[in-house]
Structure 1
Amino acid sequence: MTAILGWPASAHDAEPPEAVFDRLRAEGRDDDAAMFLGQALPRYEVVAWAVQTVRDLAPPDLAPRDAEALNAAVQWLRDPSDSRRRAAFDAAAEAGDASPQRMCALAVFFSGGSMAPPDLEPLLAPKDAAGKFAAGAVLTAVTRHGQREEGLRKALTLGEALAVGSEDGRP
C-alpha cells in the first residue's frame, strides 16, 4: 500500500490496513490518512466516501456545472453501470478545474472499465487513480469548507465506517 502512495518503505508495511490508518490518525497525519483511505477502500466505497463528504461540505451557491458533476457521481452510485460511469466523465469535463465535485466524477470514471471510447480496444485506468481522485476530492472539500480540521475528522470517520461496513458509512 505504501508503494502505491509513493511513501518510503517502513517497518510498518506488514501491518494490516486498519492498523496503518489508526497509526496515521494517532500521529496527527490526517492528510496522509485520507490518502491512505483513498487506496485502502474498495473503488465503490471510495467513491461513496468522496461523494458523501463533498455533498456534506458543498456551499449553498454551488456552480451548476459542479452540481451536475456531483449528481453524475451520485447517479453512478445508485446504478454503477458503464453508461453512468462515462456520463460522470462527461460531467467532469464541464465542471470547474479543481472542484471537489469534478474530482468525485473523475473518481467514478477511473473506478473501473475502459478509459478508451467504447468502439476502441479497452484501456484500463491505473489501479490507484480512483482513490487518488476521491482523496483529492475529500481534501479539497474540507480545505474549501473553512473548518478544515473538523471537516477532515468527520470525513475520516465516515471513511473508516465504510471500511468496516458500518451503517454510519451511508453511500
Structure 2
Amino acid sequence: MTTPPVIAPDPFAAYAPPARWLLERSAPDDDALALLDARQPIEALYNAWIAKELFPAALRLIAAVLPARESVWWAWVSARHATQVAGGKPASAEVHKTLTSIEQWIVRPDDEARRAAWDAGTAAGMDTPVGMIAAAVFLSGNSVAPPHVPPVPPPPGAAMPLVAGAIMLSAASNQKAEQIMPTMSAFAAQGLEIVKRLGGWDPAAQLAYDTHQRLQHEYTRATAPAPPAR
C-alpha cells in the first residue's frame, strides 16, 4: 500500500497577505524559519534574525521589500564599498565602468541608461556583484526585448534575488574572513535605513505588495496569448 505524501504546513499561513507575500518572496532558510511568530510584526522578526546573526535572511528580507530603484542603490553602495574596504578586491576597469553605469541609471533611470548598465555588467561578468546589479537594473525596466521591437516585460520580482545575491557576494568577497559577518551587518543596517525612510516595515511591505500585484496584472495581460483568429 502506497503511503500518501506528507504535506508540510505553510509556515506563513498565519500572516496577513502583505507580510506573507514578503516572507515567501524572501525565502528564509530553516534557521530563520524557526524564529517565525505571526503574533509579532515583521520588524520584530527582522530584529530577531539580526540578533542571531542570520544576515542572509535579513538581507533577503530587505531586498524583498524595497522598490526597484532603492534596492539597486543599496546594492550599488554595497558593491562599491566592498572594493574600497580593507581586505576588499580593488575595482578593475570593467567593475569601475559598471559601477559608473549603474550610478547613471540610479540618477536617470531611462531606457538608454538601463541598457548601458546591462552592457557594462556583461563585460564585467554576470557572476560578479556589479554584473548581478546590472542585471537587476535591466530587469527593472519595461522590456527585456531589444530596442525598436514590441516590448516584452520582465517577470515581476525577477530583480530581487539578484540584488540580495549581489550584496551577499560583495560581503563574502572580502579576503579577510573575519570581516565578512561585520560587513553583512553593516550592509543590513544601510538597507534598514531605506526601509525606515519608506515609513517602516509595515508601510514598506504594503507598498511592495501593492506594486507587485499591479505589475503581475500588467505582466499577465502583456504575455497572454493572442485570441485565436476567427
Q: TM-score band (shorter)? A: 0.7 to 0.9
Kindly indicate whether the alpha-carbon contact (under 8 Å) linking 2:46 and 2:58 is maintained by their aligned counterparts in 1. Answer: yes
- Cα distance in 1 for partners of 2:126, 2:168 equals 15
CA RMSD of aligned residues (A): 2.3
Q: 1:148 is aligned with what amino acid?
A: I
After superposition, residues 1-171 of structure 1 pair within 5 angstroms as 1-7=22-28, 12=37, 16-58=41-83, 59=88, 61-145=90-174, 146=176, 147-165=179-197
> Larger deviation: 17-26 or 6-15?
6-15
> Larger deviation: 22-31 or 3-12?
3-12
Report which of the two structures shows the higher radius of gyration computed on alpha carbons: 2
Q: 2:61 is aligned with what amino acid?
A: F
Kindly indicate whether the alpha-carbon contact (under 8 Å) linking 1:47 and 1:130 is maintained by their aligned counterparts in 2. Answer: no
Task: Give the Å deviation of 1:7.
Answer: 4.9
Kindly indicate whether the alpha-carbon contact (under 8 Å) linking 2:114 and 2:137 is maintained by their aligned counterparts in 1. Answer: yes
> Between Structure 1 and Structure 2, how many residues are aligned?
166
Task: Give the Å deviation of 1:127.
Answer: 2.2
Equivalent pairs: percent with the same residue?
28
Normalising by structure 1, report the TM-score: 0.85
Task: Give the Å deviation of 1:35.
Answer: 1.2
Task: Give the Å deviation of 1:3.
Answer: 2.1
Task: Give the Å deviation of 1:54.
Answer: 0.8
The DSSP-based 3-state class of the residue aligned with 1:124 is coil
Task: Give the Å deviation of 1:12.
Answer: 4.2
- Cα distance in 2 for partners of 1:20, 1:132 equals 20
Normalising by structure 2, report the TM-score: 0.65
Cα distance change on mapping 1:16 and 1:117 into 2, 3 Å: farther
Cα distance change on mapping 1:127 and 1:26 into 2, 3 Å: farther
Cα distance change on mapping 1:124 and 1:162 into 2, 3 Å: same
Kindly indicate whether the alpha-carbon contact (under 8 Å) linking 2:135 and 2:162 is maintained by their aligned counterparts in 1. Answer: yes
Residue 169 (structure 1) aligns with:
none
Kindly indicate whether the alpha-carbon contact (under 8 Å) linking 1:115 and 1:125 is maintained by their aligned counterparts in 2. Answer: yes
Q: 1:125 is aligned with what amino acid?
A: P
> Gaps (5+ residues) in structure 1?
167-171
Task: Give the Å deviation of 1:23.
Answer: 3.0
